[in-house]
Amino acid sequence: MNRQRICVVTGSRAEYGLLQPLMRALEDDPTFSLQIVATGAHLAPEFGLTYKVIESDGFKIDAKVEMLLSSDTPLGGAKSLGIAVIGIAEALDRLAPDLVVVLGDRFEIFAAAQAALMLRIPLAHIGGGDTTEGAIDEAIRHGITKMAHYHFVTNGLARKRVMQMGEDPTRVYNVGSLGLDAIRSCVLIERDTLQSSLNFDFRRLNLLVTFHSVTLAPDLGVSGFDELLLALDGVGESVGVIFTRPNADPAGLQLIERLDAYVKRHPNARVYKSLGQQLYYSVMAQIDAVVGNSSSGLYEAPSFQKPTVDIGERQRGRLAADSVIHCEPESKFIERAIRQALTLDCSRTVNPYGDGHCVERIMAVLRQSVETSQELQKRFFLAGNE
């Protein structure tokens, strides 16, 4: 039997970190032939040229699709999306995969889904059914769901939402989050070695901070970021702060400029273009709280029994553990939430996103798909008729 060609499309450092265990499993399984398309921030110097991380992990990238314009506006994002559809379509047409696998809700992944749909290639989507009401990711995620043929969701509530959109219940699988698999397999770096690698001396208390654009906010979340920086000033320089840069979204460059200027003025703070999976998880294991509006504070921080301060509406509606503190994007509320987080006992926190065996469940479904015909035509299933 010929190997089934599975093409994984990745556009960002964080998404690749989640996909890496699945990509490794696909590469090692004789049933499949792994193909990789790298695009988006992976190919951008300002975001660390993280395609090199993929290659250093031993993977072969089959296509690199340049698509990011040097722009920081919604119009630039829309044009980049169009360029991505063209480039990814050309790559998929050449690679001729039997199945395309995508994760999440970023616009690069939306482009991959559109290209696969028009080329009549079945699509498997990881992470559908969640809600994040403060960002365009919400609509993108649901749009990908309607283009996908296999749905690997992270929780039971997400599964219900996908079925509410008329998807075939027999193709909606609650597998948990890939992030927990990545954590389970990651060898964490010891504190002393980590400090040397980061060129950063941990304080008695330390924060890991990631703040992305809020793409449905009137100012794209810039004012919220300014409020976060004011709150960090209020917490004081005795607390160490490790920043990771925001995504390649509209207003992202504005956030980076503010972030770089802040770090120059504060010796207790450092910023990193991309930590990579091992460094990121090692930092998360050492800090005292995660702060910002990144999904990792909800998906992965609970597995480390670390509190999360989730700012604003970007992640509003997403399933959250009892270790997550939600607050408005105003400095007084953010500072209060950070101080609360630094005293919060999360030793009994249970991660609601699974048990770290997501890859095994996805692989079982993909092996089964090899043995059955993959129909492109989809029926609309009424909710409740499972």
* Residue 183 domain flag: no
Note whether 156 and 233 are same-domain residues. no
pLDDT digits (tens, 9 = 90+) for 270-313: 999 888 889 999 999 999 999 999 999 999 999 999 999 999 99
Q: What is the mean pLDDT of the chain?
A: 94
Could you tell me if residue 254 is left (phi over 0), alpha (psi between -120 and 50 degrees) or otherwise beta?
Answer: alpha
Higher local confidence (pLDDT), 317 or 308 = 308
Same domain, 161 and 59: yes
pLDDT band at 384 (very low <50, low <70, confident <90, very high): low
293, 298, 296: which is closest to 323 by C-alpha?
Answer: 298
370 burial level (CB within 10 Å; 0-12, 13-18, 19+): middle
Do 28 and 63 belong together in one domain? yes
Q: Residues 314, 132: contact at Cβ < 8 Å? A: yes
Confidence of residue 345 (pLDDT cuts 50, 70, 90): very high
- Confirm whether 31 is domain-assigned: yes
350 lies in a domain?
no
Statement to judge: residues 166 and 270 lie in one domain: no
CB 380 within 8 A of CB 202: no
| 297 shares its domain with 275 | yes
Whether residue 170 is contained in a domain is answered as yes
pLDDT single digits (tens) 76-103: 989 999 999 999 999 999 999 999 999 9
Q: Measure CA 67 to chain center.
A: 19
User: Is there a domain that residue 229 lies in?
Assistant: yes
134 shares a domain with 257: no
Domains in the chain, number:
2
**205-210: strand order across its sheet:** 269-272, 239-244, 205-210, 289-292, 308-311, 324-327
Domain with 266 in it: what CATH number?
Answer: 3.40.50.2000
Q: Does 166 share its domain with 307?
A: no
Query: Which tens digit of pLDDT belongs to each residue from 209-224?
Result: 999 999 889 999 999 9
Say if residue 27 is in the same domain as residue 94: yes
Secondary structure (3-state) at 178: helix
Main-chain dihedrals φ then ψ at residue 301, nearest 5 degrees:
-55, -40
In sequence order, the 6+-apart residues with CB closer than 8 A to the CB of 325 are 307, 308, 309, 310, 337, 340, 341, 344
Give the residue from 278, 327, 284, 283 showing the smallest Cα distance to 303. 284
In a domain, 81, yes or no: yes
Confidence of residue 250 (pLDDT cuts 50, 70, 90): confident
User: Are 12 and 144 in the same domain?
Assistant: yes
298 is in which domain, residue-wise? Answer: 189-341
* Residue range 58-79: mean pLDDT, rounded: 92
> Is residue 327 helix, strand or coil?
strand
